[in-house]
Each structure stands twice: as C-alpha cells, then as structure tokens.
C-alpha cells in the first residue's frame, strides 16, 4: 500500500500571498499538476486546508487536480508519512535551533 502524504492547499498548490479571501482562491501554482502527477505514482495524496472543503474541492476539479487526490480535509491526518506545508519547520532534536527557526520564520512568499 502507498504511504499517505498530506499537502497544504494555500501556498503550496496555489499562489497564496497572505491575502486571505474566502471567496476568491489564488491561481494554481505553475508546476502543481506535474508535481501531483509524479507524487501520485508513489503516494496517496490528501489535501488539508483551513478553507471551506467544498470550495477547495471545486477549485481542485476546475484545475484538473482532483484525479490525484484521495481526500480533502481540514484536519491533518495522524497517519500521514509526510506533511508538506509552506508554514512548516522540521524538528531535528535541537531545541535551540528550533527556537531560532521559530522566532525568525517567514513563509517563502514573504521573502519574495
């Protein structure tokens, strides 16, 4: 059985730039479909989002991405092998490094 990967919606699959609008979702990010196609060969894919699940599902259908996705949810699945998120940090057993990373963190789109 393929492992599950959970992918954040905003900032990963679309061009989110910090301007949240519940009715207007950002455009698809270039390369997103190819990425999901390749990833789906080895993983089951679940999308997580704080947005309305039906709105996100319709966006995924409109952008021809739903064929790669097993589920859309607002809960991070505890059985996922990997989480991909534009606001995440990896913990590597070093609390001092984790503290520095947390206190200086900016999502990639704030550094553009």
Residue 40 sits in a domain of what CATH number?
A: 3.40.50.1000
Q: Is residue 103 part of a domain?
A: no
Closest to 49 (Cα-Cα) out of 38, 65, 30, 31:
65
Domain count of the chain? 1
Q: What is the pLDDT of residue 112?
A: 61
Domain, as residue range, for 70:
3-87
Q: Is residue 72 part of a domain?
A: yes
Give the side-chain half-sphere CA count within 13 A for 27. 3
Q: Is residue 92 part of a domain?
A: no
pTM over 0.85: yes
Per-residue pLDDT in tens (0 to 9) along the chain, 112 residues = 899 999 999 999 999 988 888 888 999 999 999 999 999 999 999 999 999 999 999 999 999 999 999 999 999 888 999 999 988 888 899 999 999 999 998 887 777 6
Q: Is residue 102 part of a domain?
A: no
- How many Å from the N-terminal Cα to the C-terminal Cα in the chain? 39
Q: Is residue 31 part of a domain?
A: yes
Q: Is residue 99 part of a domain?
A: no
Q: Is residue 58 part of a domain?
A: yes
């Amino acid at each position: 059985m393929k492992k599950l990967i959970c992918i954040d919606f905003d900032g990963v699959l679309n061009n989110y730039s910090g301007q949240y609008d519940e009715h207007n979702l950002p455009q698809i990010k270039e390369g997103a479909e190819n990425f999901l196609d390749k990833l789906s060969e080895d993983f089951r894919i679940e999308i997580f989002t704080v947005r309305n699940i039906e709105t996100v599902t319709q966006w995924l259908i409109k952008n021809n991405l739903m064929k790669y996705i097993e589920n859309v949810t607002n809960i991070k699945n505890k059985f996922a092998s990997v989480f991909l998120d534009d606001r995440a940090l990896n913990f590597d057993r070093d609390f001092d490094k984790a503290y520095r990373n947390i206190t200086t963190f900016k999502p990639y789109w704030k550094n553009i």
